[in-house]
Amino acid sequence: MIVDIYQHLMETPTYNKLVGEDFCLIEYKCPIEVEQFKLWTESHFISFVLSGKKDWTAIEKTYETHAGDALFIRKGVYNTKQYFEEDYCVMLFFVNDDFIRNFMKETDGLQKAPTSTPERQIFEIDVNDSLQSTFMSVFNYMIQGGEVPKELVMIKLKELLYNLLLDPKNKEIIEFFRSVQSMEKTSLDEVMRKNFHCELSMEEFARLSGRSLSTFKRDFKKIYNDTPQRWLMNKRLEYARTLLLTSDLNSNEVCFESGFTNASHFNRAFKEKYGLPPSQFRKAELEAG
């Protein structure tokens, strides 16, 4: 099961939250008994670790974080692992594409055409003294209790983003912000290529791409000349074939890793496409090669 992290946090009353239009700031304390879980988010977010240790696994690699570390995490699907030494406490700053576009419109010095669109899903943030001070000032607002004016929250969030983007060490994040500003809509092809193997519904794929379900299906047809269901089936079967030939995963592990939720369905679909059940296919290919 994949957890919609933003929805989970918003529906849990025990977390401190500062909510505005197109953004949300949350203090999150993860229960120490939760070691691993898979999550997805339709908003980008900054994670600043106050205490504890956690791993974030994206397509490109696994990022290990400790107290004082910060990541910029793009919308998508992730595996996480927490360690048991101490409670994991973190501040999360959720911002959607519209917030980024509006912010970039206000920043004359940063408004340039993107020279590239970064492929990675997670960016390590250089936490200099100024940025850490901003993080902690926001944290103090969150724990002091009482109503905090949204205007003040907006000012602090913009201050945080300015500090982050003006640091040359965070240049990849600047390029990502510029790429968001230059696009009216999230790239549907990028969303599907990076998340086809994830257990998401059509509605969740649509939300991840920033579209209504009907617009998602219409745009999908224009790009792939196919239905999402058929495209996903073929893509997952092709990925399963690759895993069978290049990894040590057993058939059941390949099934779930490639996005299927039922082993019997996976075996039938694989045999229909490649002529043999997964285990026999692997054996035949290895013997032939």
Give the pLDDT score at 276: 95
Length of the chain: 289
Domain span at 146: 2-182
The DSSP H or E segment spanning 142 is helix 129-143
Question: Do 120 and 31 belong to one domain?
Answer: yes
**Contact present, 122 and 72 (Cβ < 8 Å):** yes
pLDDT of residue 32: 53
112: nearest Cα among 187, 183, 181: 181
- Do residue 32 and residue 173 come from a single domain? yes
Of the candidates 225, 242, 276, which is a domain's last residue? 225
Q: What is the pTM of this model?
A: 0.82
What is the reported pLDDT for 114? 63
220 shares a domain with 97: no
Residues 177 and 200 in one domain: no
Note the pLDDT of residue 94. 94
Q: How far apart are CA 125 and CA 103, in angstroms?
A: 19
Characterize 75-92 residue by residue with b for buried, 16 or more Cβ atoms within 10 angstroms of its Cβ, and e for exposed. Answer: bbbbebebeeeeebebbb
d(CA 211, CA 191): 12
Same domain, 177 and 214: no
The total domain count for the chain is: 3
Nearest partner of 22 among 157, 175, 172, judged by Cα: 157
Helix, strand and coil percent figures for the chain, each rounded to 5: 50, 20, 30
Same domain, 35 and 164: yes
**Residue 30's domain is classified under what CATH number?**
2.60.120.810
What per-residue confidence (pLDDT) applies to 95? 94
Q: Are residues 192 and 123 in the same domain?
A: no
Three-state SS for 25? strand
Pairwise CA distance, residues 99 & 219, whole Å: 23
pLDDT tens across the length of the chain (289 residues): 688 988 888 888 888 888 877 888 888 776 656 567 789 999 999 999 999 999 999 888 899 999 999 999 999 999 888 887 778 899 999 999 999 999 998 886 666 766 677 788 999 999 999 999 999 988 888 777 667 787 888 888 999 999 999 899 999 999 999 988 888 778 899 899 989 998 899 999 999 998 999 999 999 999 999 999 999 999 999 999 999 999 889 999 999 989 998 999 999 999 999 999 999 999 999 888 6
Q: In this predicted structure, what is the pLDDT of residue 109?
A: 61
C-alpha–C-alpha distance, residues 175 and 94, integer Å: 19
Q: Residue 190 has what pLDDT?
A: 87
| Other Cβ atoms closer than 10 A to 116 | 10
Residue 88 and residue 53 in contact, taking contact as beta carbons nearer than 8 Å: yes
